[in-house]
Structure 1
Amino acid sequence: MVARLILQSLAWLAGMGVLLFGAAGTLAWPAAWWYVLELAVLSLWLGLWLARHDPALLAERLAPFVQAQQSRWDRLFMAVVALVWCAWLILMGFDAVRFRWSAPLPVLLVSFGSLCVFLCIFMCRFVFRANSYAAPVVKIQASRGHKVADTGPYAYVRHPMYAAALLFFIGTPLMLGSWWGLAALPLMAFGMGWRAVREERLLAEQLDGYAAYMERVRFRFVPFIW
């Protein structure tokens, strides 16, 4: 399992590197190297923690993004996400380095971006600890005894991982120095919000106790906002 984690992580990071540096047209982009390095260290830390504390969830996290048990709409959503993700990385490479559409960001903002990326991964650890069924695809994991998660961060918002992802979508363009990358945040937030609503409909229909959980925990991403 650990070997698979390392191989998939390396493949994922290498793919990101190809898109970023290919769009930039150069390897001389220190911000991107620091970004990939931070992701590598944090992802390995989280993955090794999962391998020790919840290998079943790690297996789910390493599974393909398109699965037989997955809803049709979620398969389409994941395909669109893959395309948008690649386009986003390419856009930031064009913006920050190749064409320099964005003025250089202050060091303070770049540091804040790095902190946001760290907090995203760090928050995911609490999400995984509270919810052993936090698969990357929307499905009911009946074979694993799927049940409602309502402790830890789930006691405050219904989708804490999406909330953490918002930090990632803020931090990444700040680290890479791309205002145009940051401008894509509303699109990312809208996509996660759309998926959250569809996911809740499925869970309320098919997972015992989820409808009652929705009544107890009113907010999806951010307490007192939405």
Structure 2
Amino acid sequence: MNAKVIGQGVGYGLIAAAVYGLLLFWPAGTFDYWQAWVFLAVYGGLSIACCVYWGLTNPAVLQRRLRGGPKAEARLTQKLASTALITVFTAVFVVSALDHRFGWSAVPTAVSVLGEVVVVLGLGLGILAVVQNGYAAANITVEDEQPVISTGMYGLVRHPMYFSLLVTMVGLSLALGSYWGLTGALVSVPILVVRILDEEKLLTQELAGYPEYTQRVRYRLVPYLW
């Protein structure tokens, strides 16, 4: 069972990396795009490592992370929000690659390296959030006997997974050598707000102890802001 789940996870990760590569190298019109290669190596390496680790230690976590996307969502608002986030994420790749091709913005190498560090930080925070809350699925759902996690990152913000996504989005375009791609991070904010507000309606209704948790942890997405 573990081997099957690990195989599925690694397969999905490799397919995602291949799709990201297509979204980068085709619009860029060249394979001479080191920023893209570095990102794909980082993303692919982390994806495979996480799949193997979770598959060996807690396959249920990996199975939850594999059930994602608009089709996996039961609520219409979440289907629309998930679709919008995927669209924005795709646009960041394409716009950044076109920026590389046509030279719309000149991003210094040091800034691209810093952007890659931010991407690793964002992905790392997302991994940490899943480690601290094994019920953090890729779709919005509440399972039987699911507890409220209020320690670690969940003691700072109620939705650390979305915070990690926002951090990743900020670093992504810089890592890919584009300032124009930063618009994706800005556009993703209102989408995340809609997704979070709708998710909290479900959690308040179906997750025991969640209303009390919202009173203890005041911030939803960014500490001291919202």
User: TM-score, normalized by length of structure 1?
Assistant: 0.92
Verify: 1:59 aligned to 2:59, yes or no: no
The one-character-per-residue Cα deviations of 1:122-166 (angstroms, maximum 9, x if unpaired) are 222321122111111112223xx3221112110111011111112
Picking from 9, 12, 17, the partner of 2:13 is 9
2:75 is matched with: 71
The one-character-per-residue Cα deviations of 1:10-34 (angstroms, maximum 9, x if unpaired) are 1011011111111111111111011
Report percent identity of matched pairs. Answer: 32
- 82 and 166 in structure 1: CA distance in 2 versus 1, 3 angstrom threshold: closer
2-structure distance, mates of 1:168, 1:199: 21
1-structure distance, mates of 2:79, 2:191: 14
Does the aligned pair in 2 maintain the 1:126–1:152 contact within 8 Å? no
2:97 is matched with: 93
2-structure distance, mates of 1:64, 1:112: 29
Structure 2: gaps (5+ residues): none
1:182 is matched with: 182
1-structure distance, mates of 2:102, 2:95: 10
Verify: 1:170 aligned to 2:183, yes or no: no
- 215 and 74 in structure 1: CA distance in 2 versus 1, 3 angstrom threshold: same
1:121 is matched with: 123
1:77 partner amino acid: A
Runs of 4+ in 1 over 4 A off after TM superposition: none
Structure 1: gaps (5+ residues): none
- 187 and 3 in structure 1: CA distance in 2 versus 1, 3 angstrom threshold: same
2:104 partner amino acid: W
Structure 1 position 106, deviation (Å): 1.9
The alignment yields a C-alpha RMSD, in angstroms, of 1.6
Structure 1 position 88, deviation (Å): 2.2
Structure 1 position 74, deviation (Å): 0.9
Does the aligned pair in 1 maintain the 2:96–2:181 contact within 8 Å? yes
Does the aligned pair in 2 maintain the 1:46–1:121 contact within 8 Å? no
Q: Count residues with an aligned counterpart.
A: 222
1:132 is matched with: 134
2:122 partner amino acid: C
1-structure distance, mates of 2:157, 2:72: 29
2:191 is matched with: 191
Structure 1 position 107, deviation (Å): 2.5
